[in-house]
Amino acid sequence: MTAKTLFEKVWEAHVVRMDGDVALLYIDRHLVHEVTSPQAFEGLRMAGRTPHRPDFTFAVPDHNVPTTGRELGITDPVSRLQVETLDANCEQFGITEFAMGDVRQGVVHVMAPEQGIVQPGMTIVCGDSHTATHGALGALAFGIGTSEVEHVLATQCLIQKKPKSMRVTVDGTLAPGVTAKDIVLAVIGKIGTAGGTGYVIEFAGSAIMDLTMEGRMTVCNMAIEAGARAGMIAVDEKTIDYVEGRPYAPNGNDWDQATAWWRTLHTDAGAKFDAEVHIDAASLQPQVTWGTSPEMVTGIDGKVPDPAAEPDAVKRTSIENALAYMGLKANTPMREVTIDRVFIGSCTNGRIEDMRAAAAIARGRKVAAGVSAMVVPGSGLVKEQAEAEGLDRIFIEAGFEWRDPGCSMCLAMNADQLAPGERCAATSNRNFEGRQGKGGRTHLVSPAMAAAAAVTGRFTDVRDLT
């Protein structure tokens, strides 16, 4: 038997037919949110089609939902119409929706694993690039456009060419204070934002397998920031323990049969990848981005780069543009960069472990003068759990705002936005120009590093605070 990669095993289990080198790939679960689905549902209606498997489709509003004053509903009429359109489409087509008043509502990529909708070996799509998150459970999960959302609704399949495979091996032990977020930022810094284009990345190695499931989700979530549509991690007992007992997890005989297959979902010894990357976990520091692309990243001991030192003309211009936008001078130590805002949350870092990591730094400290900091749990259930553990009290006493779940200031489609020129330490995934509001300046960090920045007013090595 030929040695296979994890990706090949999952891919091959889902090929319905081949036409030349183009596969018709079966999709096990389709996640839907309000922003990228209305035109797809409208397309179905106009063609007189209905969803092929409404029972394999799960919806949640997350991008437009307010994170305060929720009892008032959505005040922005344009946002409200989009969320109401999702509600109506789910109602019309018989799709399960975790609507705004439901405690299970949250960021789609936090909600779906939490509910056990995401399981090992599945193919999962969503009209959202951060669908890559779910590869942490050994699923093949990737983002699609709205035309493909319509295609999956109508056929439960996608037309796909088999991507190439890359393995990123992170071996060794992380230093205290260095997290999953720092691993993935370092990977993006190393291979670049287009380094994974055309690939599915398998994250492997002892430092990856030592991560919690939440940490693994953080790593796979940002595979797209390295250009890869999907990130994947082998199934182990941690994965199986995570899924067990969740509302949509298999039961009884189904559970035994499922876990028997899940335990085969790892790359066989000797399987070949199209590309291999190695990173030494012990060498990593907490990471901070300085520019307008996630690859523009350095360790907390690093400095803002000097464009004059960059020989490539296109890259030099990119650095110059980034520094101008970010309002940073070349060679400034990252530790001297002061901040105005802090955002802790998102599909990257809005899970319970992230809340705990930030609270551990916030405990007994105060948000620095002039800094405004908010914590947005990834789902209603994360919020409930955090409150049961008293984390909300820690945040509130330290001067953080404790909000309701949603995408919030990761992309600022709701009211949570940066003003022009404001500088933010954010646990989200994109530091693009204008991402958190026109003229806003985003620095990506881990939850602990964001909390450290909140209480000191500048980027600080979290290890100095513990």
Partner 1 sequence: MQSFVTLDGLVAPLDRANVDTDAIIPKQFLKSIRRTGFGKYLFDEWRYLDQGQPDMDVTSRPKNADFVLNQPRYQGAEILLTQDNFGCGSSREHAPWALLDYGFRCIIAKSFADIFFNNCFKNGILPIVLPAKAVDDLMGQVKAHEGYRLAVDLPAQTITTPDGEAIPFEVDPFRKDCLINGLDDIGLTLRHVKDIRAYETQRKTRAPWLFAGN
Within positions 110 to 169, which residues make up the interface with partner 1, using CB under 8 A? 119, 121-122, 127-129, 143-148, 150-151, 154-157, 159, 161, 163
Binding mask 436-465 for partner 1 (x = CB under 8 A): --x---------------------------
* Beta-strand runs (E) in 41-108: 57-59, 96-97
**CA dihedral sign, ordered 45, 48, 49, 55:** positive
Give min distance, CB of 389 to partner 1, in A.
Answer: 28
Residue 338 as a binder of partner 1 (CB under 8 A): the answer is no
d(CA 449, CA 461): 7
Give strand pairing partners of 428. none
Q: What residue spans of 47-129 are helical by DSSP H?
A: 77-93, 108-114
Contact 351, 382 (CB under 8 A): yes
Give min distance, CB of 340 to partner 1, in A.
Answer: 18
Helix, strand, coil % in the chain, rounded to nearest 5? 40, 20, 40
Residue 184 as a binder of partner 1 (CB under 8 A): the answer is no
Non-local CB neighbours of 19 within 8 Å, separated by 6+ positions: none
d(CA 54, CA 403): 32
Residue 418 as a binder of partner 1 (CB under 8 A): the answer is no
Residue 411 as a binder of partner 1 (CB under 8 A): the answer is yes
> Which residue matches tokens 């705990």?
356
Write out the binding residues for partner 1, residues 368-407 only, by CB under 8 A: none
* Count of residues that bind partner 1 according to CB under 8 A: 78
Binding mask 9-38 for partner 1 (x = CB under 8 A): ----x--xx-xx-x-x-x-x------xx-x
Write out the binding residues for partner 1, residues 269-288 only, by CB under 8 A: none
Out of 258, 277, 281, 367, the only residue in the binding site for partner 1 (CB under 8 A) is: 258
Out of 5, 57, 67, 79, the only residue in the binding site for partner 1 (CB under 8 A) is: 79
Q: Identify residue 434 by its one-letter amino acid code.
A: G
Pick between residue 317 and residue 338 the one whose CB is nearest to partner 1: 317
Residue 179 as a binder of partner 1 (CB under 8 A): the answer is no
Out of 413, 424, 444, 453, the only residue in the binding site for partner 1 (CB under 8 A) is: 413
Pick between residue 20 and residue 370 the one whose CB is nearest to partner 1: 20
Non-local CB neighbours of 446 within 8 Å, separated by 6+ positions: 179, 180, 181, 182, 286, 287, 349, 357, 427, 462
* Beta-strand runs (E) in 263-358: 275-280, 287-289, 297-299, 341-344
Pick between residue 353 and residue 416 the one whose CB is nearest to partner 1: 416
Out of 78, 270, 364, 370, the only residue in the binding site for partner 1 (CB under 8 A) is: 78
Binding mask 200-229 for partner 1 (x = CB under 8 A): ------------------------x--x-x
Out of 99, 248, 387, 422, the only residue in the binding site for partner 1 (CB under 8 A) is: 248
Residue 250 as a binder of partner 1 (CB under 8 A): the answer is yes
Structure tokens at 67: 């994170």
d(CA 191, CA 193): 7
